[in-house]
Amino acid sequence: MRSQLIVDPEAMAVPATINNSSLQVVHDPDGLIVSINWPHAIQDETQHYLHESISQLFGRVATTPYMQRVEQVLADGQPQTFQCVVRRGPHPVGMDFTLNLEELPNQPHHKYLKGEGSILTVTDAANMPQQLNTMGIVAEPPSNNAQAGLLANISNYHGVLTNIASNIRKTLELKTIWQQTVDGLGNLLDLHRCLVCDYSVAMQTLNVVAEFQQPELAPCLGQTFELANKADFRCTINTLKPVLSDFEREDNDAGPYTVLTIATCYRDEPNSVLLLQMPPDRPWHPLEIELVNELTDQVGTAIAHAKLFEASRTLADDLQQANAKLTDKNDELEEARRYAEEASRLKSEFLANTSHELRTPLNGMIGFLRLVLDGMADDPEEQEEFIEEAHKSALHLLNLINDVLDIAKIEAGKMEIDLTAISLQELFSDVENFTRPQAEQRGLYFNMKMPATLDEIKLYGNYQRVLQVLLNLIGNAIKFTPEGGVTISAEVKTQSVRFQGRVWPGHIKISVEDTGIGVSLEKQNRLFQTFSQVDGERTRQYGGTGLGLAISQRLIEAMGGKVQFISMGEGLGSTVTFTAILYQEPVIMAESEGKQSA
């Protein structure tokens, strides 16, 4: 069953500094403290131990081997000398400790035990094996054979520590440093579990980023601890000192265990917390705490350097991305500049051609009207002819101005179109009345084909705008067709379409086909561009502003349709088609019943 990481009470989490301090404690055979003298301890804290169990000093896990020594002293009267860890609140203090019999008059028990301890400081790594041989570890009872195995594992303490630190310094990869730390400590100390918890100052959380564990334990990797809920973590981060905590296992068959938490830091700023869990019933030894404490200094530095390297690498990547974006932005700006220059050139060309187109009918109007005003007409019939020509020029000028106004409204997004049901038959009839005479004057044939239906075909659109589009397309077809003719046809497509939040029964496809000069394939993409004319020389030859197709496309799209231009090349004629929403589905006649109007 997974062990719970329960912290010591916060009342015991007050740190105290002990230098060259000695401890004297007297307790009865059952471990109840009757007097204690700890000169450098806080007085209130010293009094806290009075009339409490000796486990307050040694912790629950370490109390069992200590009481075994008590029994030995009581049995043979010989003092016991050993090294142990004594608690100052949650903080471990390594001590050389001697346990003797003590007789106290006027006390319920005849025999008491007096323990005296002094701070243990390991300063000479070369003499470490010799110091290990003098430790109480080897004199422990057989039930503590796990401690005896510690001697074999860390007899070469200096070499093992150097190897772990060396491996950490060889890399700047955070994950590698974290994992090598837990693996090195876990294997060296034969731990049940060892964790590295990355400390977030901003979030006040610790996230488990690396783990060493025995197979029977549930993993903790990826867990996040709130600092406010972990007194042991909070204490070691605030004091930068080791903290010991005792735990009872959920499995009643297993004994208690001790956890050491210690912060790694860089320049006195914590950056992670190490959590080391001992096997059940095995206490910590001062040398083990010394080992972890020495290593954490180097781990903290390695973590700080790795994070700085990672931050610099991230910054370099960000700078590279920013540079790439800046390059792309420069390319976009260059493209925008070229586009603006091209747009400016096209508008200048458009204005030049349009001003010429506007002057032509205006000059015609002025000329014919001047002839009338000067009395140059020989008779009333000729005078009427002059006035009629001036009227035609005025209408032509009006159409040109309307085109310019329409495209200006479209470009400004102010074109408003009211849509309603319109008759295709009526539309075609008006178109024919306007355009057939123009075609026949040029010697061209002019055909119009209607779908064969039993009822009237109705479109959903704006009558004047659809008529404007048809007159534009047919006018272009007649203008650019020197011989042959023009054919206008319509076809019903009964496939439902959605427009303006409503489903319509289909659409009408209207085609304007001519046998004229056509357009080369490479120039067709410019046909629908605003202010763009396929060929300036051709425009000057045939006249016009070049806005007809652009205006037609915008109008048809505003009414839910599409415009398409088809030409196989110069001299091969062209076909312009557009679609319009079908207002209601007509009844189609059988093919044998169909009629064509020409």
Question: What DSSP line would sit under 279-302, residue for residue?
Answer: PTT----HHHHHHHHHHHHHHHHH
Selected residue with higher pLDDT from 291 and 425: 425
Selected residue with higher pLDDT from 231 and 2: 231
pLDDT at 477: 92
- The H or E element that residue 379 is part of is none
DSSP string, 409-475: HHHHT------EEEEHHHHHHHHHHHHHHHHHHTT-EEEEE---BSS--EEEE-HHHHHHHHHHHHH
The yes-or-no verdict on residue 265 having pLDDT over 70 is yes
pLDDT at 44: 55
Out of 39-53, 115-129, 274-288, 532-546, pick the least confident: 532-546
Strand residues in 450-547 grouped as ranges (E): 458-461, 485-493, 497-499, 502-504, 506-514
pLDDT at 349: 66
- SS3 of residue 260 by DSSP: strand
CA distance 500 to 128: 88
Confidence of residue 105 (pLDDT cuts 50, 70, 90): confident
Question: Would strands 224-226 and 205-213 be described as parallel, antiparallel, or unpaired?
Answer: antiparallel
What residue type is assigned to position 184 of the chain? G
Confidence of residue 393 (pLDDT cuts 50, 70, 90): confident
DSSP string, 73-113: HHHH---EEEEEEEEETTEEEEEEEEEEEE--TTSSSS-EE
pLDDT at 353: 64
Q: How far apart are the first and last CA of the chain?
A: 95
Query: Do 551 and 563 meet the contact criterion of CB atoms below 8 Å apart?
Result: no
CA distance 438 to 432: 10
Q: Which range is most confident: 82-91, 230-239, 251-260?
A: 230-239
For residues 509-522, average pLDDT: 89
Selected residue with higher pLDDT from 561 and 18: 561
For residues 285-309, average pLDDT: 88
Q: Which DSSP letter does residue 144 get? A: G
Alpha-carbon torsion, ordered 327, 328, 332, 337, to 10 deg:
10
The yes-or-no verdict on residue 530 having pLDDT over 70 is no
pLDDT digits (tens, 9 = 90+) for 477-511: 998 999 999 999 999 998 899 998 999 999 999 99
pLDDT digits (tens, 9 = 90+) for 20-30: 468 899 999 99
For residues 536-565, average pLDDT: 74
Out of 161-165, 275-279, 338-342, 590-594, pick the least confident: 590-594
For residues 381-393, average pLDDT: 87
- SS3 of residue 498 by DSSP: strand
Residue percentage of the chain with pLDDT more than 70: 80
The yes-or-no verdict on residue 455 having pLDDT over 80 is yes
pLDDT at 376: 86
pLDDT digits (tens, 9 = 90+) for 50-65: 889 998 888 888 888 8
**Domains defined along the chain, listed by start:** 10-121 (3.30.450.20), 158-307 (3.30.450.40), 416-593 (3.30.565.10)
For residues 300-307, average pLDDT: 90
The yes-or-no verdict on residue 155 having pLDDT over 70 is no
pLDDT digits (tens, 9 = 90+) for 337-366: 888 887 777 677 666 666 766 777 888 888
Out of 342-346, 388-392, 456-460, 557-561, pick the least confident: 342-346
- 447 exposed, middle or buried (CB, 10 Å; 0-12, 13-18, 19+)? middle
Cα–Cα distance list, 406 to 154, 421, 531, 554 (Å): 92, 23, 13, 10
pLDDT at 323: 87
Selected residue with higher pLDDT from 166 and 113: 113
pLDDT at 141: 37
Out of 453-457, 507-511, 538-542, pick the least confident: 538-542
pLDDT at 552: 86
Q: Which of 184, 204, 304, 208 is nearest to 261 (CA)?
A: 208
CA distance 261 to 275: 5
Selected residue with higher pLDDT from 234 and 598: 234
pLDDT at 123: 43
pLDDT at 280: 86
Residue percentage of the chain with pLDDT more than 90: 35
CA distance 496 to 499: 10
pLDDT at 538: 52
Backbone φ, ψ for residue 47 (5° rounding): -65, -25
The yes-or-no verdict on residue 4 having pLDDT over 70 is no
Backbone φ, ψ for residue 60 (5° rounding): -65, -40
The yes-or-no verdict on residue 16 having pLDDT over 50 is no
The yes-or-no verdict on residue 251 having pLDDT over 70 is no
pLDDT at 7: 35
What residue type is assigned to position 126 of the chain? A
User: Would you tell me how many other CB atoms lie within 10 Å of the CB of residue 327?
Assistant: 10
CA distance 2 to 251: 9
**Ramachandran category for residue 31: left, alpha or beta (phi over 0 → left; psi -120 to 50 → alpha):** left
Beta bridge partners of 44: none
Residue 315 tokens, joined: 């910054």
pLDDT at 274: 96
Residue 242 tokens, joined: 């080791």
pLDDT at 74: 92
Confidence of residue 254 (pLDDT cuts 50, 70, 90): low
Query: Do 364 and 390 meet the contact criterion of CB atoms below 8 Å apart?
Result: yes
Mean confidence (pLDDT) of the chain: 81
pLDDT at 526: 64
Confidence of residue 561 (pLDDT cuts 50, 70, 90): very high
**Ramachandran category for residue 16: left, alpha or beta (phi over 0 → left; psi -120 to 50 → alpha):** beta
Query: Do 103 and 251 meet the contact criterion of CB atoms below 8 Å apart?
Result: no
Strand residues in 154-240 grouped as ranges (E): 193-200, 205-213, 224-226
For residues 238-265, average pLDDT: 85
pLDDT at 521: 75
pLDDT digits (tens, 9 = 90+) for 198-212: 999 999 999 999 999
Q: What distance separates the 2 farthest-apart alpha carbons in the chain?
A: 159
pLDDT at 544: 54
H helix intervals, 227-285: 231-239
The yes-or-no verdict on residue 10 having pLDDT over 50 is no
The yes-or-no verdict on residue 299 having pLDDT over 80 is yes
pLDDT at 545: 58
pLDDT digits (tens, 9 = 90+) for 67-102: 999 999 999 999 999 988 988 777 888 888 999 998
CA distance 187 to 152: 12
Q: Which DSSP letter does residue 40 get? A: T
Confidence of residue 395 (pLDDT cuts 50, 70, 90): confident
Q: Which of 91, 92, 95, 93 is nearest to 12 (CA)?
A: 91
Residue 435 tokens, joined: 């355009």
pLDDT at 222: 94
User: Would you tell me how many other CB atoms lie within 10 Å of the CB of residue 70?
Assistant: 20
pLDDT at 591: 62
Q: Which DSSP letter does residue 29 get? A: T
pLDDT at 144: 44
